[in-house]
Structure 1
Amino acid sequence: MASNKVVQFEAKVLKPKQSSEGDSWGFVVLPIEISNVFPRRGRTSANVLVNKHQFQQLLEPDGNKSHWLKLTEYNLNAASIHYGEQVTLTLSPVLVEPEPELSPNLKAALDSAPKALATWELTSNTAKIDWLHWISSAKQETTQIKRINQAVDMLSEGKKRVCCFDSSGFYSKSFSAPIAAD
């Protein structure tokens, strides 16, 4: 169970060096002492307040035992935030992790495998987030499809957690915060 501790800190809103064409978003990297309020180093949801705009967002692991926060174009606009601006953020862990959204490919695979779907439905939302993170962390679509098939096989066997996946990226260095534009 997550704590209900509320933390506040100031951070500079960074623009990512690389983003999809037409995709405008920003990010902040959480100081480790702020990240420590959250129940895990992997993906975890946070209640966020910035410039009187409140929203819920999934924090991403930065590979250094902390997190980074993506600020979507909608949230940047709603909070009147600009790149390079210093903002005060108020964060708190969500008390119950929300049900994650499935990709169409995973949903179709689970729908076609009753045993896997039954295990999925009994799996905690935190573990589901790890399954989705493991699948989506593959860089190539063919690898993602392979992981979906592996997930269905493991879930069909009754496994509720993805095996041997470092969701923090710390030990494998597979995750990091985006690189900021100059």
Structure 2
Amino acid sequence: MTTLGEDLPPPDPDFRHPTPPELVAALRDDAPLRAQWDGLTDIGRNDYICWMTSPKTDATRAKRFERLKEEVTDGKRRPCCFPGCPHRLASARGYG
């Protein structure tokens, strides 16, 4: 079994994921979500995007997208139990 990060280029502390189209649409259409999202740090937003887009299956990605919307709207700053974006942090390379 491979883990997230095994096939990645060297970590870059300045790396940021592009915002996926479904999240762009949700932020456009949901004012409370947008207000909370805008209050997150760049790294917090990046960690949520990485966590949401990293699963291998569409079903898991969809579940995480729904959870992202709920958690961010509720004021959570980072996804629970996620060590951070492995594209950015060497210490998060074994996650998955």
Q: In the superposition, relative to structure 1, how do residues 93 and 101 fare at CA in structure 2: closer, same or farther (>3 Å)? A: closer
2: CA distance, partners of 1:160 / 1:132: 12
Distance 2:13 2:68 in 1: 28
**What is aligned with 1:19?**
none
Q: Which one of 25, 50, 61 corresponds to residue 133 of structure 1? A: 50
1:161: how far off? 1.1
Matched ranges for 1:1-182 at <5 A:
61-62=5-6, 68-69=9-10, 94=14, 100-167=17-84, 168-170=92-94, 173-174=95-96
User: Does the Cα contact within 8 Å between 1:109 and 1:148 map onto a contact in 2?
Assistant: no
Distance in 1, matches of 2:18 and 2:50, equals: 11
TM-score by length of 2: 0.71
Distance 1:68 1:101 in 2: 17
1:50 is aligned to none
RMSD (CA atoms)? 2.8
Which 5+ residue runs of structure 1 have no aligned equivalent?
Answer: 1-59, 70-91, 175-182
Larger relative contact order (Cα-Cα within 8 Å, sequence gap ≥ 6): 2
Q: Distance in 2 between the 1:105 and 1:140 partners? A: 16
What TM-score comes out, normalization by structure 1 length? Answer: 0.40
Q: Distance in 2 between matches of 1:148 and 1:115?
A: 16
Q: Counterpart of 1:68 in 2: which secondary structure?
A: coil
Identity of aligned residues (%): 25
Post-superposition Cα deviations, 1:115-160, rounded to whole Å, max 9, x if no partner, equal: 1111111111111111011011111112212111110101110112
CA distance in 2, matches of 1:122, 1:140: 29
Q: Determine the C-alpha separation between the residues in 2 that align with 1:102 and 1:140.
A: 19
Tell which structure's C-alpha radius of gyration is larger: 1
Structure 2 portions without partners, runs of 5+: 85-91
